[in-house]
Structure 1
Amino acid sequence: MWKTASKIHFVAAIFIASLGNAQLFRTKDRADNLEGFDNQKFSYGFYLAGNNFDYKLVLDPMFGMDGQKNLVQSKSSYSFGAGLIGKLRLNDNFDLRFEPGLQFVERELYFNTQSNDQYAGGTNANPPFTPRTLTDADKLRTVKSTYVDLPLLIEVHGDRWYNSRPYAAAGVNWMMNLQSNSKAADDNSQGLFRTTSSNFAWSAELGIQFYFSRFKLTPGFRGTFMINDEMVADNPDTPPYWTSAISSAKSRALMFVLKFE
């Protein structure tokens, strides 16, 4: 995930550098834009986001590992999101931000767990089961998620320098997954990987705010990390090829956001 996401960083860095060249270094005969904008008690806007979501997997030592080999792999994918911005000015250096949005996500999990047939006779902690031959469809699970993302962030920013200023933000998120299937009766035996609907995460963000004559543009990078385990266990009579191989699955995401205020 993070190697491919570095490509996004590089492109985004070029974009920010171009803005910086226009906004920071061409200072001759230029008036400051939107001088009283940040003195407003409340302000509003919207944002667009390019995302890279992945799962941080902790595997079960018995069903998810074969010696030092991981039997379950997660593959990230690029996605997008959008949302609204509400800002409450606290003082000259701190703002409180509420940025509700939608994040559209698709990931893949690959289960190379046929070797768990060796436990078919049962163990002290697990009942016996009837082995089945895993097909390619059994091994691959495409997990689609639509998160209603509700982050509450505290933002701290430096002093304004001409038409720009740096900022950092951190806070907590409540993320409701509209495609969780958490209450579905089917599980991985029928090809359905279930996840929790209500989730909590924390986020951290860095960026630079640029002031134009009619609006403020803020490019930034945000990391979001789920706190709770999102996986819903398979039904008790399902063989241990899928969720039994995973102790926990928590989302982690890197986002490039563009905010318009």
Structure 2
Amino acid sequence: MRKKVILVFLLFSICTSIFAQRERVENLPTFDKRKIHYGFYLGVNQNDFKLNLRNSAIQNANITIEPSSGFNVGLIADLRLHKNLNLRLEPGLITNSKNIYFNHIATQRDSVREVSSTFLHVPLVLKFSTDRYKNIRPYLLAGVSYDYNFSSNEKNQDDNSAGQFRMQTHNFMYEVGIGIDIYLNFFKFSPSIRGVFAMNNEIKYDDDPNSQWTAPVNFMGTRGIFLNFAFE
């Protein structure tokens, strides 16, 4: 799935870039001189967990993650710092789900946990742009983000012994990406692809220190690919 997302992004960017370069008129010639401008984005994502196990009372622990695709939507506030450098705040909502398989647990009911999440995702990123060429302008992105997990179950008194898989509510990420600005007649269209990676351990451990679900886990953190389409 990730390879398909990257391939779609590359093909789409190439096609739109060729179209933009064929335009003889330079669209929106003063757009990048604005100190502040706004926009919005729509997109898709695929998230799973980076998982590290540790030695525990659970022998031969075996945990696998099955990700699925989700959606992104949000707003953009862009501050021009330099002709090739912008600071961007991109608050939005993200939805996705994952299945976690605890293969060392024999019973089917206890061996699978579905984690469906809705996040408030607040990235603060630096955008490093090349000089504009006709109606296109490639760029790189790098920054940090804060995620508030509305579906974390962190304060739930029940844990996996009662069928409740719990995660941390407050999480921090770093992200890097590439994209291209395409200047159209009335707005700037910017497809981008970025990787998002957790900095903190997101799992909420069960009350039982020897829990067969959480005791083997040393680190569980989000990692994902975001494909966004921005309109500014």
Q: Which moved more, 1:134-143 or 1:193-202?
A: 134-143
1:113–1:82: structure 2 CA closer, same or farther, 3 Å change rule?
same
Does residue 227 (structure 1) correspond to residue 221 (structure 2)? The answer is: no
Is residue 2:9 matched to residue 1:12? yes
Larger radius of gyration: 1
% same residue: 37
Residue 43 of structure 1 is matched in structure 2 by 37
1:34-53 Cα offsets, whole Å, 9 max, x none, are: 00011011100000111010
Match of 1:243 in 2: 214
Q: Shift of the alpha carbon at 1:65?
A: 6.2
Q: 2:73 aligns with which of 73, 78, 82?
A: 82
What is the one-letter code of the residue matched to 1:112?
N
Equivalent residues of 2:9, 2:193 under 8 A apart: no
The 5 Å alignment of 1:14-163 reads: 14-24=11-21, 26-27=22-23, 30-62=24-56, 66=60, 71-114=62-105, 134-163=106-135
- Structure 2 residue runs without a partner (length 5+): none
Taking the aligned partners of 2:138 and 2:108, their CA distance within structure 1 comes to 49
TM-score normalized by structure 2?
0.96
CA drift at 1:236: 2.2
Aligned partner of residue 76 in structure 1, secondary structure: strand
8 Å CA contact 1:64, 1:71 repeated in 2 = no
Q: CA deviation at 1:240?
A: 2.5
Partner of 1:169: 141
Shift of 1:248: 1.2
Taking the aligned partners of 1:63 and 1:8, their CA distance within structure 2 comes to 40
Cα RMSD for the two superposed structures = 1.4
Q: Which runs of 5+ in 1 are unaligned?
A: 115-133
Structure having the larger proportion of residues in strand: 2
Q: CA deviation at 1:64?
A: 6.1
Distance 1:112 1:63 in 2: 16
The runs of 4+ residues in structure 1 deviating greater than 4 Å are none
User: In 1, distance between residues paired with 2:194 and 2:71?
Assistant: 13
Which position in structure 2 is the counterpart of 1:252?
223
Q: How many residues align?
A: 232
Deviation of the 1:12 alpha carbon = 2.0
